[in-house]
């Protein structure tokens, strides 16, 4: 995928978002960090306080456990919602012409539900990979090869 000069590249997962601007050209991308946002999201077992609830059957003595709430996943989904809001705001402010989003498949799916039509019109590519922990040269290479 070509990364044209001036393209905004959003690299994120469920707890970290990096916004880069390509200051190079499509042949030699040079991603420069514009904004970084990170949230503290401890594992789910550290966020829950009680054991899952129990449901009593209306007939007989049986009981069954309810599924435990995954607070970690909820926080990741909320972060994706906030990231989409940031990107939507920038699109509506005409802060970029082209956008490439790099995120793991689950995060990408959550983001898609919150795209504004203006953002969608500027979206030139999506890469379903988690690259938030990679160095910038690796991100440039992987996105260019996608």
> How far is Cα 104 from Cα 118, in angstroms, rounded to an integer?
23
Spell out the per-residue pLDDT of the chain, length 146, in tens. 888 899 999 998 888 889 999 998 888 899 999 888 887 655 555 555 555 555 565 566 665 655 666 666 777 778 888 888 899 999 999 988 999 999 999 888 888 888 899 999 999 999 999 998 899 999 889 988 88
The reported pLDDT for the residue numbered 11 is: 92
Name the residue ranges covered by the structural domains of the chain.
8-37+71-145
The reported pLDDT for the residue numbered 107 is: 87
The two three-digit tokens of residue 48, written as one number: 């829950």
The two three-digit tokens of residue 109, written as one number: 């799916």
The reported pLDDT for the residue numbered 21 is: 93
The reported pLDDT for the residue numbered 45 is: 52
> How far is Cα 95 from Cα 9, in angstroms, rounded to an integer?
12
For the segment(s) 8-37+71-145, the CATH number from 3.30.420.60, 3.10.20.30, 3.40.225.10, 3.40.605.10 is 3.30.420.60
Q: Which of 99, 75, 73 is nearest to 86 (CA)?
A: 99
The reported pLDDT for the residue numbered 102 is: 93
Is residue 20 a contact partner of residue 11, using CB atoms and an 8 Å limit? yes
């Amino acid at each position: 995928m070509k990364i044209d000069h001036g393209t905004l590249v959003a690299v994120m997962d469920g707890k970290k978002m990096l916004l880069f601007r390509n200051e190079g050209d499509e042949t030699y991308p040079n991603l420069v960090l514009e904004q970084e946002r990170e949230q503290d999201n401890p594992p789910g077992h550290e966020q829950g306080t009680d054991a899952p609830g129990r449901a009593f059957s209306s007939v007989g003595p049986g009981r069954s456990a309810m599924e435990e709430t995954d607070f970690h996943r909820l926080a990741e989904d909320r972060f994706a919602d906030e990231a989409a809001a940031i990107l939507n705001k920038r699109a509506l402010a005409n802060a970029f012409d082209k956008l490439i989003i790099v995120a793991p498949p689950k995060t990408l799916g959550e983001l898609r539900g919150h795209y504004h039509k203006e953002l969608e019109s500027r979206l030139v590519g999506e890469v379903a990979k988690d690259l938030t922990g990679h160095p910038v040269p690796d991100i440039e290479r992987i996105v260019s090869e996608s």
